[in-house]
């Protein structure tokens, strides 16, 4: 599990050509910056952060299974 480097996220967000809300960009950031591929690892990292749990709560994501459903739906 990693700690999200929010300063690096801001740089990523500023220089990426991808569009979306902050949650979608955070998922892209976790995949690209930390090379995460596992929904479990993404969820654990986000759940143990100071800010990211608010993003999870807003989308009613309570487990890695919930996150996996969103990832699957989003990338079909």
Per-residue confidence at 65, pLDDT binned at 50, 70, 90? very high
Residue ranges making up the domain that contains 30 = 6-74
pTM, 2 dp: 0.88
Domain presence at residue 11: yes
| Rg (alpha carbons) of the chain, rounded to whole number | 11
pLDDT band of residue 75 (cuts 50, 70, 90) is low
Total number of domains constituting the chain? 1
pLDDT at position 2 is 85
d(CA 16, CA 68): 23
pLDDT level of residue 74 (50, 70, 90 thresholds):
low
pLDDT number for residue 28 = 93
Residue 47 domain flag: yes
In whole angstroms, give the CA distance from residue 63 to residue 76. 20
For residue 7, which of 33, 27, 35 has the smallest C-alpha distance? 33
* Percent of the residues in the chain that have a pLDDT greater than 90, as a whole number: 80
């Amino acid at each position: 599990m990693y700690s999200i480097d929010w300063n690096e996220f801001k740089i990523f967000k500023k220089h990426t050509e991808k569009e979306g809300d902050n949650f979608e960009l955070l998922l892209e950031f976790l995949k690209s910056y930390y090379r995460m591929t596992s929904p479990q690892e993404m969820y654990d990292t986000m759940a143990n952060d100071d800010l990211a749990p608010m993003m999870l709560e807003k989308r009613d994501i309570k487990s890695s299974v919930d996150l996996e459903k969103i990832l699957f739906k989003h990338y079909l």
